Amino acid sequence: MQASTEPADTSVHPSSLGWYCLRTALFASIPTLFGLSVLLITTYFQTPELSTGSFKLPMPDVWDLFGNIVFAPVTETALLVALLLVLARTPLSATLNALLCALILGVLHGVLQGWFKFPMAAWGFYFFAQSFQVWKCISLPKAMLAALMPHVIVNATVMATLTAHSL
């Protein structure tokens, strides 16, 4: 008996891809927003800058914004989709496929950006992978958007918060 490669319940789909993406972004952002909150709170306990009397995080520049809001989500979603399409050919369940992708991409974030980002990245990629698998039953372009848009929203929220804090 082979395990199903489809999500557990594909008969229930939200009426709107947009609302689905927003809901997914909300769940995917929980540890990221927690980590960002800890970062912002700890800045108040840092030694203040002499010129301003406060500690500021560096202002994201145009390349930081482009990299985090466009380049990284598009590149990582392409990698996520490729991994999921390969794993769909195995007897593993859709949930296990999502977990494997989350772990692989979480480790990649840990290696490239520091291990403190592993749990946040792995958590988010689990939701992005599940979104892709749910919408893949409807259409591949919608599935790709279902994985990409929450990632863009999460990263844009972080960049907007860092920018606002840097002002």
**82, two tokens:** 């490729």
**107, two tokens:** 């480790």
pLDDT at 8: 44
3-class SS at 15?
Answer: coil
pLDDT at 2: 46
pLDDT at 147: 98
Q: Report, as ranges of residue numbers, the positions in the chain whose pLDDT lies below 70.
A: 1-15, 47-57
pLDDT at 10: 46
pLDDT at 151: 97
The number of CA neighbours under 13 Å toward the Cβ of 68 is 19
